[in-house]
Structure 1
Amino acid sequence: MIYILLFFISFSITYFIKNYMIKKSFVASVNERSSHTVPTPHGGGIALAITWFIGLFYLYFSNQIDLNLFYALLFGAVISVVSFFDDIYELSPKLRLIVQAIVAIGGLYFLGGFETLTFGIFDIQNPIFTNIFAFFMIIWFINLYNFLDGINGYAGSEAVFLSFAGFILFSGNHFLVLLVAVLGFLYWNWNKAKIFMGDVGSTLLGYNVAIFTIYYSNQESANFWIWIILFSVYWFDATLTLIRRKLNKEKLSQAHKKHAYQRLTQSGWSHYKVTNYSIGLNLVLFIIVYFIPNIFVAFMIALIILVLSMKFVDNKKRFE
């Protein structure tokens, strides 16, 4: 019952925000980085965030969530609030990075740090190295999720997939809370979007994925690679695109439309088709994780599929 209620909270707040933003003319303008062609209201992530934190407190008061995980996830409110103001006032990149660093440190503190980075044949347990790695991973996940929030349903469907996969593999009612919080927003963002998520939603989702990765890795070190595989559609695209742009000697802070999902839309695919393509790819990755017991074999197979998928995108629209 609580999850149905949370869904309708997210659904209703998104609807209210959509109408309010239209009335006040707070719409996302079309620019050189945009994948949309019609000015559309943004800020739907506010509904997602509010519902998510309401659900978190419900889990806390009903003793359904580990306290370390609760406080780490709750600290994500900082990134949501700052991103809300960034959506409105366009804060400086330096200020955003400082806040992201603070949030990364806070999240790691509440989780007790990142204990072990395993590579199968050897483990790295030096707390200095593992926590520095985790610190930059959290910041990267926050930003790459923001980078890849650019077409209808794309960021929301990724969060739904990760929530669903997380619940199947690890249980935990926090995944159900995130699932319904995103679904309430996604109704208004699917196919022909009536509202966009904005940074307030995308940065929070990126932070949550990073926290889940570290939390479950601390329970079992091999779980790190499970989350890396599940989230690989996003990090592979964002990381490879960043490397390619660096090799092209481009200014990395400059707006661009070179991510795989953007190039697919440029090739003539609709937002709906690109989002469905990513959902299909995610389901393949989940099947790999679920049925292949050796996680490192699973990772190599997933990596091969990702490389082939990127070659497919390159054939549709060459990276220039």
Structure 2
Amino acid sequence: MTWLILVAGVAALAMTAGLRRYALARSLLDIPNARSSHTLPTPRGGGLAFVVCFLVGALGLGWAGAVAPPVLVGLLGAGSLVAVIGFMDDHGHIAARWRLLGHFLAAAWGLYWLGGMPPVMVLGWSLDGAWLGGLFGVLYLVWLLNLYNFMDGIDGIASLEAICVCLGGCLLYWLGGYPQATWLPLLLAATVAGFLFWNFPPARIFMGDAGSGFLGIMLGLMALQATWINPLLFWGWLILLGVFVVDATFTLLRRLLRGERIYEAHRSHAYQYAVRQHGSHRPVSLAVAAINLGWLLPVALAVVAFGLDGATGTLVAYFPLTMLAIKYHAGKRE
């Protein structure tokens, strides 16, 4: 199955090149405005490449028996719906309420086929109530896919985050004794890596809402799938996602407290202030990757491999991220 992963990555690389030529020919460009973090018109919609390649590759993994059919139905159904909604929004405009309705339907579909919300241990207590757990699971998925869209604002950051989280998740599976679970995150990492060749700063194409929303829902569902394997893996994945979770949540809460419309475009995330302070996208995106691999992955390993309490490990992992969010003025009015 390794060959399937490699082929999917190369296919995403080639398909992104084709989408870039198509976008340039049709003038499908992201034009900079006062709320943008880029300065040059750039083709958009390249995320469709890794969406298609991942979905086809996942079917191949299912055919080979590496992914259980219910998991496959859940991920493909939820991911396809979110990608279609994002694609339509990329090429026109869908009212926020209809986008959100579609996101909730996708989340509910994926959660249902995964078997519902798995039990999660919090400081020794199990959160496994059917209705409460299901509500938490859907809200978690909807928030994750939207925060991924919020955080896709500079070159390479969303791609690098997805690759780091997926490879980190694979390491958690391997060390935890679940190597059979590595195929889906490996496939997602490979297809996004093919896209990253074109998206690395300075980006030659953007992924668009179709790509960012798809990554958010896929990573969320993979985290819940991991929780059914071992409840500690939920905390491991949540820790790995820490940079995006902390920046987006801190920024959202600060804007909500001021009474701002949270779906209005803005440039008040910590990573956006960091770009303006450091003058370039590349060091900020690379710093996110370094934090993922140098800080969050070791803490996640401490939880999964060495028995550190999951909630405690998450608090430890998130504390310096919160300090960084404050340092870089996350959520501060522009």
> What is the TM-score when the length of structure 2 is the normalising length?
0.91
Change (3 A) 1:318 1:166: closer
Question: What one-letter code is carried by the residue in structure 1 that aligns with 2:332?
Answer: F
Q: SS of the counterpart of 1:89?
A: coil
Distance in structure 2 (CA, Å) of the matches to 1:167 and 1:69 = 17
Contact map agreement 1:29 1:40 (CA 8 A) in 2: yes
Check the 8 A contact 2:46/2:207 in 1, yes or no.
yes
RMSD: 1.5
Aligned counterpart, 1:287 = 298
1:95 matched residue in structure 2: 98
After superposition, residues 210-289 of structure 1 pair within 5 angstroms as: 210-283=220-293, 284-289=295-300
Contact 1:115–1:127 (Cα < 8 Å) also in 2: no
Q: Partners of 1:290 and 1:207 in 2: how far apart? A: 23
Q: Distance in 1 between matches of 2:311 and 2:217?
A: 25
Offset of 1:82 from its aligned partner?
2.0
Specify every segment of 5 or more residues in structure 1 that has no aligned partner in the other structure, as ranges: none
The answer to whether 1:183 aligns with 2:193 is yes
Counterpart-to-counterpart distance in 1, 2:315 and 2:246: 13
Partner residue of 1:168? 171
The alpha-carbon deviation at position 318 of structure 1 amounts to: 8.7
Alpha-carbon offset, residue 225 of structure 1: 1.3
Match of 2:11 in 1: 9
Residue number in structure 2 paired with 1:36: 38
- Structure 1 pair 299/62, CA: closer, same or farther in 2 (3 Å)? same
**Which residue type is aligned with residue 38 of structure 2?**
H
Structure 1 residues 116 and 55, CA gap change in structure 2 (3 angstroms)? same
SS in 2 for 1:123: strand
Distance 2:315 2:166 in 1: 23
The reply on whether 1:82 has 2:85 as its aligned counterpart is: yes
Counterparts of 2:85 and 2:332 in 1: how far apart (Å)?
A: 33
Over residues 73-131 of structure 1, what are the superposed CA-to-partner deviations in whole Å (9 max), with x where a residue is unaligned? 11111111221111101111121111111101100110110031321221121111010
The answer on whether the counterparts of 1:64 and 1:173 sit within 8 Å (CA) in structure 2 is: yes
Q: CA deviation at 1:222?
A: 2.3
CA distance in 2, matches of 1:192, 1:51: 24
Match of 1:197 among 207, 211, 214: 207
**One-letter code aligned to 2:88:** F
Shift of 1:227: 1.3
Q: CA deviation at 1:275?
A: 0.3
Q: Is the 8 A contact 2:48 2:210 kept in 1?
A: yes
Instruction: Tell me which stretches of 4 or more aligned residues in structure 1 moved more than 4 Å.
Output: none
Match of 1:124 in 2: 127
Contact kept, 8 Å, 2:251 with 2:331, in 1: the verdict is no
Deviation of 1:253 (Å): 2.7
Alpha-carbon deviations, 1:249-281, whole Å to 9, x = none? 222232211011111112133100100111111
User: Distance between the aligned counterparts of 2:154 and 2:233, measured in 1?
Assistant: 30
**Native 8 Å contact 1:32 1:255 kept in 2:** no
Distance 2:254 2:115 in 1: 35
Q: Higher mean Cα deviation, 17-26 or 251-260?
A: 251-260
Query: 1:18 & 1:239 partners in 2: Cα distance?
Result: 32
Partner of 1:298: 313
- 1:144 maps to 147
Higher mean Cα deviation, 223-232 or 146-155? 223-232
String of CA shifts for 1:166-185, please: whole Å, max 9, x gaps: 11112321111111100110
Q: Which residue of 1 aligns with 2:55?
A: 53
- Matched pairs, number: 318
* Superimposed CA distance per residue, residues 217-267 of structure 1 (whole angstroms, 9 cap, x where no aligned partner): 122222221111110110111111011111222222322110111111121
- Candidates 154, 158, 168, aligned match of 2:161: 158
Aligned residues of 2:45 and 2:210 also touching (Cα < 8 A): yes
Q: Is the 8 A contact 1:6 1:177 kept in 2?
A: yes
Alignment deviations for residues 18-71 of structure 1 (CA, whole Å, 9 cap, x no partner): 011011111011123211111100010010101101110110111111222211
Query: 1 CA distance for matches of 2:207 and 2:189?
Result: 15
Q: Secondary structure of 2:207's match?
A: coil
